[in-house]
């Protein structure tokens, strides 16, 4: 199959083939676990999941690693290196305040001064949200911890980070500054700037505030970035050859990517567009500087940002949503997933309530089709080849053209289906990528015994023209999360609201 992906590194579409087929080694920059992940973060993660599932449907075996950043991501890391406060410190303060004001129960985080507890709290929340959105996360490790195997925590891999830094010092790509911190020497790496276009010449002549100026006096070049920061007072700290301190954010991903995939050159590395610079530019410099390999990842794929109703998401504008906010409002997680995956990953996605309603209709249509096929044809065969699957795959092979792929599926659903068992099998294959057919507990079925009784009572009330009673029963059903449907032939029925 001819797969083409847009590669940020080469600024063009290229045929995709893994180094060691059928294996694909993919690393996704994961969440900083200092707060609940928002729907923008999940756009990046759902994209990674769809990419993985597409590659699997195309016959590859995908080794996917998505890290959990629980130390060293500073509040100023987007514009400066190592500036500001560790985000875990910010989280600890926030949780302390929440505890004081009674918003946080003792069972959640007993001691907000323990950053590991704070991290665990948000990691568990992230995994819960990721499961709700149908991310394909590995089964839990046998020790009962809630962290799936392919989601490494940065704090568990500090040893590998130190090894990499030692290697970089030995290879003369890193130096210890007069402040005792270890910096990467960007001038030692001629390819610096290749990914983002922020070459050293451009950065030297003023990067528009995009590089650090706090440590100018001790650095050889303003774009040199922090690998290890000695700091005995930091919220999380480790003994190292450079004193007690903590690693820089960028080195974490280089270390975890190589350690967890066992590869020095990956097939695919992903992240949101804000990760391109400085984070991924620095990851390349570090990884290639340490291994001597010409490439750290063959493909670099980045999702554009998600906007809400056309604007940047921000708490002050009241348009900031976490996944759990939306689920609490009664939105089925599969509808959120569908909404996040349906726009092309390289265009800004505009998250709107109207869009969410359209996604709910689409998910309902897919689920109703599956139910119809099931009713008419029983069990689906386990393997099936069908032009719809070929066309669905071909659209996704075209730089993950999800809307084209959905177009194929919905057009086919509108056609006559003579072989329901085969149609069900086709739909299940398609859903191995979309993953919206599974029904979450909050959106289960078309009602239980109790709702069936209420529907009967509603019909009886209506027949005897007791409209007050009919209204009361309808409201009771609606309050329980159902849409009430009336038809002349079937009388009153209910279906779960998806939004
Ligand atoms: P963070 O938790 O800040 O480290 O971000 C986790 C991931 O979410 C990164 O890959 C970011 O690039 C991505 N991200 C953050 N905000 C957005 C957004 N509004 N839209 C899409 N991706 C985002
Ligand atoms: Zn990263």
Residue 336 contacts residue 305 (beta carbons within 8 Å): no
Ramachandran assignment for 70, one of left (phi > 0), alpha (psi -120 to 50 degrees), beta (any other): alpha
Distance 250 CA to ligand 2 centre (A): 6
Least confident of 22-26, 27-31, 323-327, 486-490: 486-490
Assigned token pair, 251: 């080195």
Residue 333 contacts residue 128 (beta carbons within 8 Å): no
Residue 306 is given by DSSP the state E
Distance 16 CA to ligand 2 centre (A): 22
> Which string of DSSP letters, residue by residue, matches 167-182?
HHHHTTSEEE-TTS-E
Q: Atom of ligand 1 at shortest distance to CA of 307?
A: 19
pLDDT of residue 443: 54
pLDDT surpassing 80 at residue 124: yes
pLDDT of residue 140: 45
pLDDT in tens, 328-348: 999 999 999 999 999 999 999
pTM: 0.91
Q: Atom of ligand 1 at shortest distance to CA of 274?
A: 12
Least confident of 5-9, 209-213, 229-233, 320-324: 209-213
- Compute the distance between CA of residue 402 and CA of residue 405 in angstroms, rounded to an integer: 5
- Compute the distance between CA of residue 488 and CA of residue 477 in angstroms, rounded to an integer: 19
Assigned token pair, 15: 């045929």
N- to C-terminal Cα separation, the chain: 38
- Compute the distance between CA of residue 237 and CA of residue 395 in angstroms, rounded to an integer: 48
Residues in Cβ contact with 301 at an 8 Å cutoff, skipping those fewer than 6 apart: 5, 6, 7, 8, 51, 268, 269, 270, 345
pLDDT surpassing 50 at residue 279: yes
- Compute the distance between CA of residue 359 and CA of residue 361 in angstroms, rounded to an integer: 5
Distance 340 CA to ligand 1 centre (A): 13
pLDDT in tens, 60-90: 999 999 999 998 888 888 776 778 888 888 8
pLDDT of residue 422: 93
Q: Atom of ligand 1 at shortest distance to CA of 73?
A: 4
Q: Atom of ligand 1 at shortest distance to CA of 44?
A: 22
Q: Which residue has the higher pLDDT, 71 or 19?
A: 19
Mutation probe of ligand 1 site: the residue of 39, 272, 301, 314 with most atoms within 8 A of C-beta: 272
Distance 82 CA to ligand 2 centre (A): 15
CA proximity to 241, closest of 159, 178, 173: 159
pLDDT in tens, 341-371: 999 999 999 999 999 999 999 999 999 999 9
How large is the average pLDDT for residues 116-141? Answer: 85
ω into 278 cis (within 30 of 0): yes
**Residue corresponding to tokens 């590991």:** 116
Mutation probe of ligand 1 site: the residue of 40, 87, 196, 347 with most atoms within 8 A of C-beta: 40
Residue 155 contacts residue 236 (beta carbons within 8 Å): yes
- Compute the distance between CA of residue 366 and CA of residue 374 in angstroms, rounded to an integer: 12
Q: Is 3.40.50.300 the CATH classification of the domain at 1-303?
A: no
Distance 40 CA to ligand 1 centre (A): 6
CA atoms within 13 A on the CB side of 381: 10
Residue 404 contacts residue 395 (beta carbons within 8 Å): yes
Ramachandran assignment for 144, one of left (phi > 0), alpha (psi -120 to 50 degrees), beta (any other): left
CA proximity to 276, closest of 4, 9, 65, 6: 9
Task: Name the CATH topology of 308-434.
Answer: Isoleucyl-tRNA Synthetase; Domain 1 (1.10.730)
Residue 58 contacts residue 397 (beta carbons within 8 Å): yes
Query: Which ligand is nearest the CA of 42, by number?
Result: 1
Pocket of ligand 1 (CB under 6 A): 29, 31-32, 40-41, 43-44, 69, 271-272, 274-275, 303, 305-306, 313
Mutation probe of ligand 1 site: the residue of 36, 40, 41 with most atoms within 8 A of C-beta: 41
Distance 133 CA to ligand 1 centre (A): 16
pLDDT in tens, 387-421: 999 999 999 999 999 999 999 999 999 999 999 99
């Amino acid at each position: 199959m001819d797969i083409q992906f847009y590669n940020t590194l080469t600024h063009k579409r290229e045929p995709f083939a893994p180094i060691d087929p059928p294996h694909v080694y993919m690393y996704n920059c994961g969440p900083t676990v200092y707060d609940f992940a928002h729907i923008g973060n999940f756009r990046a993660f759902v994209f990674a999941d769809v990419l993985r599932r597409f590659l699997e449907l195309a016959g590859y075996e995908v080794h996917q690693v998505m890290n959990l950043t629980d130390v060293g991501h500073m509040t100023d890391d987007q514009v400066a290196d190592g500036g500001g406060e560790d985000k875990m410190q910010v989280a600890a303060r926030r949780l302390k305040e929440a505890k004081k004001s009674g918003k946080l129960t003792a069972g959640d985080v007993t001691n907000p001064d323990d950053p590991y507890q704070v991290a665990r709290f948000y990691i568990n929340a992230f995994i819960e949200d990721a499961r709700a959105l149908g991310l394909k996360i590995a089964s839990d490790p046998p020790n009962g911890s809630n962290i799936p195997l392919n989601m490494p925590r940065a704090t568990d891999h500090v040893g590998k980070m130190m090894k990499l830094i030692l290697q970089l010092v030995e290879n003369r790509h890193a130096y210890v500054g007069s402040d005792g911190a270890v910096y990467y020497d960007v001038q030692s790496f001629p390819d610096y700037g290749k990914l983002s276009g922020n070459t050293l010449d451009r950065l030297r002549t003023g990067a528009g505030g995009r590089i650090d100026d706090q440590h100018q006096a001790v650095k050889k070049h303003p774009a040199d970035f922090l690998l290890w920061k000695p700091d005995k007072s930091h919220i999380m700290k480790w003994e190292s050859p450079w004193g007690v301190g903590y690693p820089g954010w960028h080195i974490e991903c280089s270390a975890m990517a190589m350690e967890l995939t066992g590869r020095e050159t990956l097939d695919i590395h992903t992240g949101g567009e804000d990760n391109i610079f400085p984070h991924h530019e620095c990851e390349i410099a570090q990884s290639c500087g340490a291994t001597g390999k010409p490439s750290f990842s063959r493909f670099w794929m980045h999702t554009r940002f998600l906007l809400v109703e056309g604007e940047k998401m921000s708490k002050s504008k009241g348009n900031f949503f976490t996944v759990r906010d939306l689920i609490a409002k009664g939105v089925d997680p599969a509808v959120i997933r569908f909404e996040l995956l349906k726009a092309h990953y390289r265009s800004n996605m505009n998250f709107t309530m109207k869009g969410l309603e359209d996604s709910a209709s689409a998910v309902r249509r897919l689920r109703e089709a599956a139910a119809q096929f099931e009713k008419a044809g029983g069990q689906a065969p386990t393997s099936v080849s069908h032009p719809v699957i070929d066309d669905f795959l071909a659209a996704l092979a075209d730089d993950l053209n999800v809307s084209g792929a959905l177009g194929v599926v919905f057009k086919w659903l509108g056609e006559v289906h003579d072989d329901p068992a085969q149609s069900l099998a086709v739909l299940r294959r398609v859903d191995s990528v979309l993953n919206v057919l599974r029904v979450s507990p909050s959106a289960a079925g078309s009602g239980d015994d109790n709702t069936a009784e209420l529907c009967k009572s509603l019909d009886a009330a209506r027949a005897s023209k007791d409209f007050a009673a009919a209204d009361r029963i309808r409201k009771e059903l609606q309050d329980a999360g159902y849409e009430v449907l009336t038809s002349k032939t079937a009388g009153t029925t209910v279906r779960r609201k998806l939004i």
